[in-house]
Amino acid sequence: MESQRQQKINRLLQKDLGDILQKDMSNLGLGAMLTVTKVSVSSDLSIAKIYVSILAAQVNAEVVNNLNKHSGEIRYLLGQRIRNQLRIIPSLRFYEDDSLDYLENIERILKSE
């Protein structure tokens, strides 16, 4: 169960990371549209798992690898934005959010019956 503080930090990181990925670092998406769908920060606030929905990409794994490769640059920009709210900026790990694919699969199965 996440604490109230973790939930607030999750929302803060989701908002700021979404803004960074869409405006400042839009080239990291390799032409795809990126949306931060969920952020989950560890209990000691040292690691943040960022789930990204990827639309219109050739290879989704390539985009996620590119984001993880440039996570230091993204963390730096994040630190510039939230330095007055958090003392330590968590290290970032990006993952593909495949919940939309899962949802489409369930809808397809339901329609075929």
Predicted TM-score (pTM) of this structure: 0.85
Say how many domains are in the chain: 1
- Beta-bridged to residue 46, according to DSSP, are none
Instruction: List the CATH number of the domain containing 45.
Output: 3.30.300.20
> Mean pLDDT across the stretch 82-87?
91
Q: What is the pLDDT of residue 32?
A: 85
Residue-by-residue DSSP string for 19-88: HIIIIISGGGGTT-EEEEEEEEE-TTSSEEEEEEEEES-S-HHHHHHHHHHTHHHHHHHHHHHHTTT-SS
Q: What is the pLDDT of residue 76?
A: 95
Domain range for 35: 4-112
Q: What angle do CA 12, 16, 19 make, to 5 degrees?
A: 150
pLDDT bucket at 50, cuts 50 / 70 / 90: very high
> Mean pLDDT across the stretch 82-101?
90
pLDDT bucket at 71, cuts 50 / 70 / 90: very high
Contacts of 70 (CB under 8 A, 6+ apart): 25, 28
> Mean pLDDT across the stretch 86-97?
93
> Mean pLDDT across the stretch 41-52?
95
